[in-house]
Structure 1
């Protein structure tokens, strides 16, 4: 994020007040644009139901090398964004553990490390193999069944909801106008005589505003667990485990953990209720990884819809003389936010004024 600089009056309307829309709005305001954000004012946005992992390596899977490369580049911009927000408590962990309980799952992690993660440019993350003994030295509360994996130093996590609050505060201080409004079509934004720019960053809602956005919803579920006075502390690391061939993650929060990993095709835009089986699997796997979670309180089970594209890559592009889109980030919206903002600003700055 660059510091503000004086420019001619240029106006930008951002449709969407999630992490992508707000981060882009902040970047534009800091670059001298006059910005307003139109937000539907609901908690249905994908960034509300998220773990908040900034995994340049953790989000790398076979066949997703292009997406991983985008995450690696965006992670480099996160320290500057946190500094710009002036809220260090947004960051909940600075390192991650990738752990497994069987030889098969260990081999899967080893394959990622040797053939997927190793092919990326080096970031500030340092990857270290760990044994079961190492795991319990780092996180004594984790299960003794975890036999090995990797420690990724520099793989952060953030509190997604605190991040949204910090972004709202930052854009307001930067002079951005925040308005609660549901935009039904681009015609709602018509302003005769205006040459102002429009950024569509409304997640899945972008498709209703620009038909060229070929998006489909993927459903992700999370659990929020709160520590009680009898409970073990939350882990200091992000814990990303593989158990029985499936993944589960535990992301620390000030008062507990967020548990997640399930993602599958949604049955439409109204399919927002968590499934009993998904919740049961998440809870069972999380307790297997960290048995002390049994005394935590289950405070929330929620599902969110992630906007996905056919090729798994975000759609960030100019679509006409006035309109730019930034959507389709799938499960990686938070980690890709500063990289997307940098790309959007580059597109906007290229507009003939």
Structure 2
């Protein structure tokens, strides 16, 4: 049995480790110490439409293909409670916001809608019938039946536990070079930490802030849907959890070596203002966490999933789409491990093909 070292313990690395173990590899996860930051601070949304914007049609197509694979992975993990919602609402705060959603629905979403997803236009009255706690000021939007959300932290635990039960070994050793690993194959899935092991990755950091709010006895219940709102040209999402809501997310450039990743007051202020505009009852929730993480991004927005040499495969640069793209990435990497000459499939048109 051949061995593979997966460098990185975030959702991408863990998904690869589990898939490789299931394919018959002897696997160890070498956690570089930074890969789990983006996975730990995330909304956990699986909706491909929510990530579909003009100019990113390739990424949308990859997301659609990966979303198709998520039900099988949830079954493999054996914890259905990882799923926190199965439908999403895209809602608009103003007529201009609704116009933007209409444009996305007509020219982007309609081209890539997953067969599992049913997209329908809804009015402000429809929104309040579906989610009574949402603001009466919302003017309309779309319902996407089949756009899931996951509890990202429960997901990470389930991936670790399932991988460990399948024989994956976890090693918390920090490495400074690929040469320090004596495994037959090496997979670089360390997020921004990949830069240190393969400088040609040239990953850029995008900082994102996410809030976790907990329901109190006097609070209205969390929504049953994922709420993705456009409010005065800004985007905010509200994702249900068992005990409350996750609110996110900001995104702006940050130094790759930013050290301690702390949320900024302005980002937290904007998220709270927009979230309470969409769901006024959030004012009675408790703010239990304001978190920040660094997303590993490429120049063209596509992840890098390819073989570097006869011994090394890289899977990184997923940006804001790490959880969505995890099953597709894992399948692609296992294919590359099994056949060193294999090219990426059409479903994974990844970044850096000419590097």
Both proteins in one fold, TM over 0.5: yes
Offset from partner CA, 1:220-255 (integer Å, 9 cap, x none): 110000001111110000000000111000000000
1:313 matched residue in structure 2: 302
Correspondence 1:215 to 2:207: no
C-alpha contact (below 8 Å) 1:217/1:305 kept by paired residues: yes
Offset from partner CA, 1:133-181 (integer Å, 9 cap, x none): 1111110000000110000000000000000000000000100001112
Contact 1:44 1:304 in 2 (8 A): no
Paired residue total: 340
1:61-107 Cα offsets, whole Å, 9 max, x none, are 11111111100000000000000000001000000000002110000
* Aligned counterpart in structure 1 of residue 284 of structure 2, from 268, 289, 295: 295
> Shift of residue 44 of structure 1?
5.4
Return the TM-score normalized by structure 2.
0.94
2:227 is aligned to: 239
Deviation at 1:43, TM superposition (A): 8.1
1:70 and 2:88 aligned: no
Listed one character per residue, the Cα deviations across residues 232-279 of structure 1 (whole Å, up to 9, x for unaligned) are 110000000000111000000000000002101113321621111110
Q: Which residue of 2 aligns with 1:4?
A: none
Q: Structure 1 residues 243 and 225 mapped into 2: Cα distance closer, same or farther (>3 Å)?
A: same
98-107 vs 33-42, which moves further: 33-42
The verdict on how the C-alpha distance between 1:44 and 1:18 changes in structure 2, with shifts beyond 3 A counting, is: closer
Distance 1:76 1:333 in 2: 15
How many Å apart are 1:40 and its aligned residue? 3.8
Quote the offset at 1:45 in angstroms: 1.9
CA distance in 2, matches of 1:175, 1:334: 23
Give the whole-Å Cα distance in 2 for the aligned partners of 1:61 and 1:344. 26
Instruction: Give 1:351 deviation, angstroms.
Output: 3.4
The aligned residue for residue 154 of structure 1 is: 146
| 1:303-344 deviation line (CA, Å, top 9, x unaligned) | 100000011000000001100000000000000000000110
Q: 1:128 to 1:173 in 2, by over 3 A?
A: same
Which residue number in structure 1 is paired with residue 333 of structure 2? Answer: 344
For 1:351 and 1:101, locate their aligned partners in 2 and report how far apart those are by CA, in whole Å: 50
- Measure the CA separation in 1 of the matches of 2:265 and 2:220: 26
Given the alignment, which residue of 185, 209, 217 partners 1:197? 185
Among candidates 246, 262, 280, match of residue 258 of structure 1: 246
Would the aligned equivalents of 2:32 and 2:190 in 1 still touch at CA under 8 Å?
Answer: no
Q: Is it true that 1:184 corresponds to 2:176 in the alignment?
A: yes
SS in 2 for 1:184: coil
Q: Contact 2:10/2:37 (CA < 8 Å) preserved in 1?
A: yes
- Normalized against structure 1, the TM-score is what? 0.94
Q: 2:273: which partner in 1?
A: 284
Displacement after TM superposition at 1:123 (Å): 2.8
Would the alpha carbon gap of residues 216 and 184 (structure 1) be closer, same or farther in structure 2, given more than 3 Å must change?
same
Whether contact under 8 Å (1:269, 1:305) holds in the other structure is: no
Task: Give the distance between the partners of 1:20 and 1:210, measured in 2 at CA.
Answer: 17
Q: Flag the 1:83–1:45 CA change in 2: closer, same or farther, 3 A.
A: same
The 2-side partners of 1:340 and 1:74 are apart by: 8
Per-residue CA deviations over 1:27-83 (Å, capped at 9, x if unaligned) read: 000011100001145685210110000011111011111111100000000000000
| 2:5 counterpart SS class | strand
For the 8 Å contact 1:72–1:123, the answer to whether it is kept is no
Distance 2:285 2:32 in 1: 33
Structure 1: which 5+ runs fail to align? 1-8
**Residue 17 of structure 1 pairs with residue 9 of structure 2:** yes
Counterpart pick for 2:165 among 167, 170, 173: 173
Q: Distance in 2 between matches of 1:216 and 1:83?
A: 34
